Amino acid sequence: MKNKIAQFIPIVLIFLLFAHSNKLAVFSDTILGKLIAVFIIMFYTHLDKIIGLFACFLVIIYYQSNQIENMLNMGGSIKTPTTNYKELYENSENSDRGVVPANIELIDQFRKQYCDGNDLKYKNMKVNQDMTEHVFPELKFKGDAKCNPCNASCNKFSIIESKLKNELEMMPKPSVN
Protein backbone atom coordinates (compact mmCIF):
# COMPACT_ATOMS: atom_id res chain seq x y z
CA MET A 1 0.00 0.00 0.00
CA LYS A 2 2.85 2.40 0.86
CA ASN A 3 4.48 1.77 -2.51
CA LYS A 4 1.27 2.65 -4.37
CA ILE A 5 0.96 5.91 -2.40
CA ALA A 6 4.64 6.63 -2.97
CA GLN A 7 4.13 6.23 -6.73
CA PHE A 8 0.88 8.21 -6.75
CA ILE A 9 2.17 11.34 -4.95
CA PRO A 10 4.67 12.41 -7.67
CA ILE A 11 2.03 11.99 -10.37
CA VAL A 12 -0.39 14.23 -8.50
CA LEU A 13 2.31 16.82 -7.75
CA ILE A 14 3.51 16.97 -11.36
CA PHE A 15 -0.07 17.32 -12.58
CA LEU A 16 -0.74 20.16 -10.10
CA LEU A 17 2.55 21.85 -10.98
CA PHE A 18 1.72 21.97 -14.69
CA ALA A 19 -2.06 22.41 -14.57
CA HIS A 20 -2.43 24.82 -11.65
CA SER A 21 1.02 26.32 -11.12
CA ASN A 22 -0.22 29.73 -9.88
CA LYS A 23 -2.65 28.20 -7.39
CA LEU A 24 -0.02 25.68 -6.27
CA ALA A 25 2.52 28.48 -5.74
CA VAL A 26 0.07 30.43 -3.57
CA PHE A 27 -0.95 27.30 -1.65
CA SER A 28 2.65 26.18 -1.12
CA ASP A 29 3.42 29.52 0.51
CA THR A 30 0.81 28.94 3.23
CA ILE A 31 1.50 27.09 6.47
CA LEU A 32 -0.61 24.13 5.34
CA GLY A 33 1.35 23.90 2.08
CA LYS A 34 4.65 23.91 3.94
CA LEU A 35 3.39 21.27 6.38
CA ILE A 36 2.35 19.03 3.49
CA ALA A 37 5.84 19.42 2.00
CA VAL A 38 7.39 18.39 5.32
CA PHE A 39 5.05 15.38 5.59
CA ILE A 40 5.97 14.30 2.05
CA ILE A 41 9.65 14.46 2.97
CA MET A 42 9.01 12.48 6.16
CA PHE A 43 6.92 9.89 4.27
CA TYR A 44 9.61 9.25 1.67
CA THR A 45 12.33 9.25 4.34
CA HIS A 46 10.36 6.57 6.20
CA LEU A 47 10.36 4.44 3.04
CA ASP A 48 14.02 4.97 2.16
CA LYS A 49 16.59 7.49 3.41
CA ILE A 50 18.03 8.16 -0.05
CA ILE A 51 14.59 8.75 -1.58
CA GLY A 52 13.72 10.99 1.40
CA LEU A 53 16.89 12.98 0.83
CA PHE A 54 16.00 13.33 -2.85
CA ALA A 55 12.46 14.48 -1.93
CA CYS A 56 13.95 17.02 0.48
CA PHE A 57 16.26 18.26 -2.29
CA LEU A 58 13.31 18.67 -4.69
CA VAL A 59 11.26 20.57 -2.11
CA ILE A 60 14.16 22.92 -1.41
CA ILE A 61 14.66 23.52 -5.14
CA TYR A 62 10.92 24.22 -5.52
CA TYR A 63 10.81 26.78 -2.72
CA GLN A 64 14.05 28.47 -3.77
CA SER A 65 13.25 28.77 -7.48
CA ASN A 66 12.83 32.27 -8.87
CA GLN A 67 9.90 31.14 -10.98
CA ILE A 68 7.80 30.39 -7.89
CA GLU A 69 8.74 33.72 -6.35
CA ASN A 70 7.74 35.54 -9.55
CA MET A 71 4.41 33.69 -9.62
CA LEU A 72 3.73 34.78 -6.06
CA ASN A 73 4.55 38.40 -6.91
CA MET A 74 2.43 38.39 -10.08
CA GLY A 75 -0.57 36.61 -8.66
CA GLY A 76 -1.46 39.30 -6.17
CA SER A 77 -3.16 36.71 -4.00
CA ILE A 78 -0.69 37.14 -1.19
CA LYS A 79 -1.06 40.57 0.33
CA THR A 80 2.14 42.25 1.38
CA PRO A 81 1.95 45.26 3.65
CA THR A 82 2.16 48.44 1.61
CA THR A 83 1.90 52.08 2.49
CA ASN A 84 -0.26 54.47 0.55
CA TYR A 85 1.98 57.54 0.73
CA LYS A 86 -0.49 59.87 -0.96
CA GLU A 87 -3.13 59.07 1.66
CA LEU A 88 -0.55 59.35 4.44
CA TYR A 89 0.53 62.84 3.37
CA GLU A 90 -3.03 64.06 2.83
CA ASN A 91 -4.04 62.85 6.31
CA SER A 92 -0.96 64.26 8.00
CA GLU A 93 -0.79 67.64 6.31
CA ASN A 94 -1.69 69.47 9.49
CA SER A 95 0.20 67.15 11.82
CA ASP A 96 3.90 66.93 12.57
CA ARG A 97 4.62 63.71 10.63
CA GLY A 98 7.24 65.22 8.39
CA VAL A 99 5.25 67.55 6.12
CA VAL A 100 6.19 71.06 7.17
CA PRO A 101 3.71 73.67 5.99
CA ALA A 102 5.55 76.58 4.35
CA ASN A 103 8.76 76.37 6.34
CA ILE A 104 10.60 79.38 4.98
CA GLU A 105 14.09 78.14 5.87
CA LEU A 106 13.59 74.83 4.06
CA ILE A 107 12.08 76.54 1.03
CA ASP A 108 15.00 78.99 0.87
CA GLN A 109 17.48 76.13 1.21
CA PHE A 110 15.69 74.21 -1.57
CA ARG A 111 15.66 77.27 -3.85
CA LYS A 112 19.38 77.91 -3.28
CA GLN A 113 20.21 74.32 -4.10
CA TYR A 114 17.96 73.68 -7.13
CA CYS A 115 16.92 77.05 -8.63
CA ASP A 116 18.77 78.99 -11.30
CA GLY A 117 16.78 82.21 -11.49
CA ASN A 118 13.22 81.08 -12.22
CA ASP A 119 14.32 77.74 -13.65
CA LEU A 120 14.15 74.57 -11.57
CA LYS A 121 17.21 72.45 -12.31
CA TYR A 122 18.30 68.96 -11.37
CA LYS A 123 21.77 67.77 -12.37
CA ASN A 124 22.16 70.87 -14.57
CA MET A 125 19.00 70.01 -16.53
CA LYS A 126 15.84 72.09 -16.54
CA VAL A 127 12.91 70.28 -14.89
CA ASN A 128 9.50 70.50 -16.51
CA GLN A 129 6.81 71.77 -14.13
CA ASP A 130 4.73 68.59 -14.65
CA MET A 131 7.67 66.44 -13.55
CA THR A 132 8.53 68.46 -10.43
CA GLU A 133 6.94 66.06 -7.91
CA HIS A 134 8.54 63.05 -9.61
CA VAL A 135 12.04 64.50 -9.66
CA PHE A 136 11.70 66.08 -6.20
CA PRO A 137 9.55 63.76 -4.08
CA GLU A 138 10.23 65.94 -1.03
CA LEU A 139 7.91 68.61 -2.48
CA LYS A 140 4.22 68.44 -1.64
CA PHE A 141 1.85 70.83 -3.42
CA LYS A 142 -1.33 71.74 -1.58
CA GLY A 143 -4.36 70.49 -3.49
CA ASP A 144 -4.16 70.71 -7.28
CA ALA A 145 -2.36 74.05 -7.24
CA LYS A 146 0.99 73.36 -8.87
CA CYS A 147 3.40 76.19 -9.44
CA ASN A 148 7.06 76.80 -10.12
CA PRO A 149 8.81 76.40 -6.74
CA CYS A 150 11.59 78.74 -7.93
CA ASN A 151 9.12 81.58 -8.39
CA ALA A 152 8.95 83.81 -5.29
CA SER A 153 5.15 84.10 -5.59
CA CYS A 154 4.76 80.31 -5.40
CA ASN A 155 4.09 79.46 -1.77
CA LYS A 156 1.49 76.70 -2.08
CA PHE A 157 3.89 73.87 -1.43
CA SER A 158 5.61 72.31 1.53
CA ILE A 159 8.74 70.28 1.92
CA ILE A 160 8.93 66.90 3.56
CA GLU A 161 11.62 67.70 6.07
CA SER A 162 12.69 64.15 6.82
CA LYS A 163 13.54 63.44 3.16
CA LEU A 164 15.53 66.63 2.88
CA LYS A 165 17.47 65.89 6.07
CA ASN A 166 18.23 62.34 4.88
CA GLU A 167 19.41 63.69 1.56
CA LEU A 168 21.70 66.20 3.26
CA GLU A 169 23.13 63.49 5.52
CA MET A 170 23.89 61.31 2.51
CA MET A 171 25.80 64.03 0.66
CA PRO A 172 29.57 63.55 0.61
CA LYS A 173 31.46 65.34 3.36
CA PRO A 174 35.07 66.47 3.09
CA SER A 175 37.52 64.42 5.08
CA VAL A 176 39.71 66.09 7.67
CA ASN A 177 43.44 65.45 7.42
pLDDT digit string (tens) for the chain, length 177 residues: 888 888 888 888 888 888 887 888 888 889 999 999 999 999 999 999 999 999 999 988 888 876 666 665 555 444 445 555 555 555 544 444 444 444 677 777 778 888 888 888 888 888 887 787 788 777 777 766 677 878 877 777 777 666 666 666 777 777 775
Q: Are 111 and 149 in contact (CB under 8 A)?
A: yes
**Does residue 138 sit in helix, strand or coil?**
coil
Predicted local confidence at residue 77, as pLDDT: 47
Contact present, 94 and 100 (Cβ < 8 Å): no
CB–CB of 176/161 below 8 Å? no
Q: Please report the pLDDT score of residue 76 as a whole number.
A: 47
Which pLDDT score is estimated for 165? 64
In whole angstroms, what is the distance from residue 72 CA to residue 152 CA? 49
Global confidence as pTM: 0.39
DSSP line for 80-131: PP---HHHHHHHTTTTTSSEETT-HHHHHHHHHHHEETTEEEETTEEPPGGG
pLDDT of residue 27: 87
Give the per-residue pLDDT at 14: 83
